[in-house]
Every structure is written in structure tokens, then in C-alpha cells.
């Protein structure tokens, strides 16, 4: 069988790879096209939005440029003018009055654009960050407009605009030192709280990781609680002042509790513990009722509880009461404070099942150590107002109360 060679074409086959040839970027042309849409519709944002929707503009490539035109009308940045070779329009919110009624339409307009093109939210984020980073280049009224716009943007919940990235530039040292950030954030707070609660504002600040750094908006020379209260009180933001004072108060309580916990765990001398308590109470101006609550929490937290062994738990708790009775006596100086301590004991026993049966023993120990007076115990027994587990506790304490009443009759 004869074999024949297959005929082949002469020459050499050269394999070629197709290349994606990227078109050159032309943000200026895109900017001018958007400006032209604004001009053709005389700044009517309803008509502009419809024209934008029907246009064939490449938003995926020029998203940042689009929002720069929305913000500035075509200027390269606040405080500057558009170069001669380009156009601009006079309908941007940075060209209007620094009032919510003139800026809100722009926010609603952007919201409509984002609903049809949600991918543009990243571009809005980028542009807002750049503008906040450049606040020092803005005129005072431009900064106010940006603050109002930012507040309205978060208030309108523009497609999940992330405060954790948008607001972070406000902590730039040079902007803070010049007082620019404090003025901006004050306008932001005032505008946002017109439509939203303080809890909503705090939620945004938490996401932006700013909740614990409100004082960092102030120049370093004015970074005090007093300056904070004075400034925001003057600006009419009393709820923010009250929130900050409460936060400082809670922090001081936490610090005091931590210091006492350490001293008691190290079995420090009672005189040393008492001195620390007095010093912190004076520095933080803590009310005595809070001190009584903290002392009881710290003392009971230091007890080595033994699970389900009731007798061991009872012995440990009573030993702690006897050991630190003088400390409790120092601050349980009135019937009201003694009653607060009794309520505190009741709530602890109610919330911790292993302590439920220890309530009468603890009350008896506090009485024996002269921490609780007879009148206080009888008042709680007859008129105590805290309803949680009350009937159970009253019943368990009844034998001791009967003994107190019988002893009082004999006297």
C-alpha cells in the first residue's frame, strides 16, 4: 500500500493575538458634555436627570468627573475657576445659597442617578473624600455648603454611602488645627439633627470610628470637656453636650471600678482603697449613689463563687461583707443611700440564680455590720418599689423582719 504525503500550503503560518486597544481618556470632553446638558435644560434637575438617563455618556469610566461637575459646575475644585478651554454651568450646589432648601434638590437628583446607576456610589465616595481633604482650599460658605450637603446625603441614605471612608479626612491634623473641621462638623451636626435623632448621628459616628474622638475635632489648645460643652451649647446642640457629659461620666465610673477591682484583687490595705475612692470621687465629681453601686459591684465581683455550693457561696459573700463593711459604711451615710444599696443587692440576687437564696443572709450581714439600719430594712420590706422578684425576697426576709419587729417591741 503506497502512502502519499498530504499537500501543504507554502509559507509559514504566523499566529497573532488580538489586542484590546484602549481609547484615550478624555475627562474634559465628558465634563463639557455634562455641562452642556445642564445648560440646555437651564439647570432644571428633573430635566437634567432625564437627559442624563437617555444619554450615551460613559459613566463607568468618568464617574468621578461626573460628580465633580455636579458639585462645582465644571470648576476643577472649590476656590478655583474652570480653565478657559472648558465650559461650566452655574447650577451646582456650590454656586447656590448655603441653605438646605437650595441644596436638598441636588441630593435628591443624585439619589435618582444612583438608583439607575448604583455603581456610581463609589465615585461619589471618592469625590466627597477629595473635597473634604481640600476644605482649606474652600471659601467659608463653600465649606458650609459641603457640610449641609454631606449631612443631607447621609440623612437621605444615598445608596449606602459609607461614613467610615467619607468622613475620615476630617481628622487631618492641619485641618483640625485651623479650626476648619470644627466649623464643618458643627454645621454637619446641626443640619443632620434637623431630621434625625441623636442615636442616628451617633450610629454614623460609630461607623466612621469617630464616636470616641469627638474632642479630636477641636484644635489641641481647646481639646477639653469644658470647651466642648461651651461650643456646642452656644450652637444650640444641647443634646450632644448631654451625650458627651454622660459618656465622660460613664468612662470615669469605669476607670474607678477598674482601679478598685485591681486593689481588692491584690488585697490592698483598706485605708489605701478608701483613699483611692475618695480621690476619684472628688476628681470625677461622682454622686454618692453611684459610688455605693460601684462599691457593691466591685466587692461582689471579687468573691470567688463556687458554682452550685450554696454554703460556700454564702460564706464567701458574708466574709466579703464583713471584710469591707467600713468601706461601705463610709458612703452609706443616709437612709436613701442605704436603700439604694439594698435595691442593688436585690437586683444582683435576682439576676444571678446562685445568689437568689443568699439574699436574707446578705441583708443580715449588712445589718450586723451597721451598714444597713433597721428602719431601712423595714421600709424596704413594707414599701420597697422594685418589683423584680420582690415577693420571693420579701418572703425569704420575713423571719428576719419578724425578729427585728419583736426586738423593737421588747425595747
> Closest Cα to residue 151, out of 190, 205, 94?
190
Exposure string over 316-348, b if 16+ CB within 10 A, otherwise e: bbbebbeebbebbebbbeeeebbbbbbbbbbeb
DSSP-assigned letters across all residues of 129-154: HHHHHTGGGS-HHHHHHHHHHHHHHH
Classify domain 246-410 at the CATH topology level: 1.25.40
> Closest Cα to residue 27, out of 80, 93, 76?
76
> Quick one: DSSP state of residue 353?
G
What does the alpha-carbon distance between residue 215 and residue 206 come to, in Å, rounded to a whole number? 14
What does the alpha-carbon distance between residue 274 and residue 30 come to, in Å, rounded to a whole number? 73
Rounded-to-10 torsion of CA 66, 71, 77, 80: 120
Read off the C-alpha cell for 23.
481609547
Read off the C-alpha cell for 150.
454631606
Residue 389: which region, alpha, beta or left (left: phi > 0; alpha: psi -120 to 50)?
A: left
Exposure string over 129-166, b if 16+ CB within 10 A, otherwise e: eebbeebeebeeebbbbbbbbbbbbbbeebbebebeeb
CA distances from 194 to 155, 198, 200, 250 (A): 10, 10, 11, 27
Which residues contact residue 103 at a Cβ distance below 8 angstroms, ignoring those fewer than 6 apart?
93, 96, 145, 148, 149, 152
Q: What is the pLDDT of residue 85?
A: 45
Kindly list the domain boundaries of the chain, sorted by start residue. Answer: 27-236, 246-410
Q: What is the pLDDT of residue 410?
A: 59
Read off the C-alpha cell for 316.
464567701
> Closest Cα to residue 244, out of 281, 290, 189?
189
Instruction: Return per-residue pLDDT of the chain as tens, 411 residues.
Output: 445 555 544 444 444 444 443 444 588 888 889 999 999 999 899 999 999 888 888 888 999 999 999 999 886 555 444 444 457 888 888 888 999 999 999 999 999 999 989 999 999 999 999 999 999 998 999 999 999 999 999 998 876 788 888 898 898 899 999 999 999 999 999 999 999 999 999 999 999 888 877 899 999 999 998 999 999 999 999 999 999 988 888 888 888 888 888 888 888 888 888 888 888 888 878 888 888 998 999 888 888 777 667 788 788 888 888 888 888 998 898 999 999 999 999 998 888 877 888 899 999 999 999 999 999 999 999 887 678 788 888 899 999 988 888 866 555
Which residues contact residue 30 at a Cβ distance below 8 angstroms, ignoring those fewer than 6 apart?
57, 58, 61, 62, 65, 66
What does the alpha-carbon distance between residue 270 and residue 322 come to, in Å, rounded to a whole number? 12
DSSP 3-state of 25 = coil
Q: What is the pLDDT of residue 86?
A: 55
Amino acid at each position: 500500500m503506497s502512502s502519499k504525503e498530504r499537500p501543504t500550503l507554502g509559507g509559514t503560518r504566523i499566529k497573532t493575538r488580538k489586542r484590546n486597544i484602549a481609547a484615550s481618556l478624555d475627562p474634559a470632553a465628558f465634563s463639557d458634555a455634562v455641562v452642556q446638558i445642564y445648560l440646555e435644560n437651564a439647570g432644571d434637575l428633573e430635566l437634567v436627570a432625564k437627559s442624563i438617563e437617555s444619554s450615551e455618556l460613559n459613566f463607568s469610566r468618568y464617574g468621578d468627573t461626573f460628580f465633580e461637575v455636579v458639585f462645582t459646575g465644571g470648576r476643577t475644585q472649590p476656590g478655583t475657576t474652570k480653565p478657559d478651554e472648558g465650559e461650566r454651568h452655574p447650577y451646582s450646589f456650590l454656586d447656590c445659597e448655603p441653605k438646605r432648601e437650595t441644596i436638598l434638590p441636588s441630593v435628591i437628583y443624585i439619589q435618582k442617578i444612583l438608583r439607575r446607576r448604583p455603581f456610581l456610589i463609589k465615585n461619589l465616595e471618592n469625590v466627597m473624600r477629595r473635597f473634604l481633604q481640600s476644605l482649606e482650599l474652600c471659601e467659608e460658605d463653600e465649606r458650609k455648603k459641603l457640610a449641609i450637603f454631606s449631612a443631607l446625603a447621609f440623612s437621605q441614605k444615598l445608596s449606602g454611602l459609607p461614613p467610615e471612608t467619607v468622613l475620615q479626612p476630617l481628622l487631618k491634623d492641619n485641618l483640625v488645627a485651623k479650626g476648619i473641621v470644627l466649623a464643618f462638623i458643627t454645621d454637619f451636626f446641626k443640619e443632620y439633627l434637623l431630621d434625625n435623632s441623636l442615636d442616628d448621628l451617633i450610629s454614623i459616628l460609630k461607623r466612621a470610628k469617630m464616636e470616641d474622638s469627638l474632642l479630636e475635632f477641636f484644635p489641641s489648645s481647646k481639646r477639653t470637656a469644658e470647651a466642648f460643652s461651651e461650643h456646642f451649647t452656644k450652637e444650640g446642640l444641647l443634646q450632644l453636650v448631654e451625650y458627651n457629659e454622660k459618656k465622660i461620666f460613664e468612662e470615669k465610673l469605669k476607670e474607678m471600678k477598674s482601679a478598685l477591682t485591681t486593689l481588692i484583687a491584690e488585697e490592698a490595705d483598706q485605708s489605701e482603697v478608701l483613699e483611692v475612692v475618695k480621690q476619684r470621687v472628688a476628681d470625677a465629681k461622682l454622686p454618692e449613689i453611684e459610688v455605693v453601686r460601684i462599691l457593691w459591684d466591685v466587692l461582689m465581683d471579687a468573691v470567688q463563687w463556687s458554682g452550685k455550693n450554696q454554703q460556700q457561696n454564702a460564706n464567701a459573700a458574708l466574709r466579703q461583707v464583713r471584710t469591707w463593711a467600713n468601706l461601705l459604711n463610709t458612703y452609706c451615710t443616709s437612709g436613701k443611700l442605704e436603700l439604694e444599696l439594698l435595691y442593688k443587692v436585690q437586683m444582683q440576687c435576682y439576676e444571678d440564680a446562685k445568689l437568689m437564696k443568699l439574699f436574707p443572709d446578705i441583708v443580715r450581714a449588712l445589718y450586723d455590720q451597721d451598714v444597713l439600719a433597721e428602719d431601712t430594712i423595714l421600709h424596704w420590706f413594707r414599701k420597697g418599689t422594685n418589683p423584680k422578684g420582690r415577693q420571693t425576697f420579701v418572703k425569704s426576709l420575713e423571719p428576719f423582719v419578724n425578729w427585728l419587729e419583736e426586738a423593737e417591741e421588747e425595747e
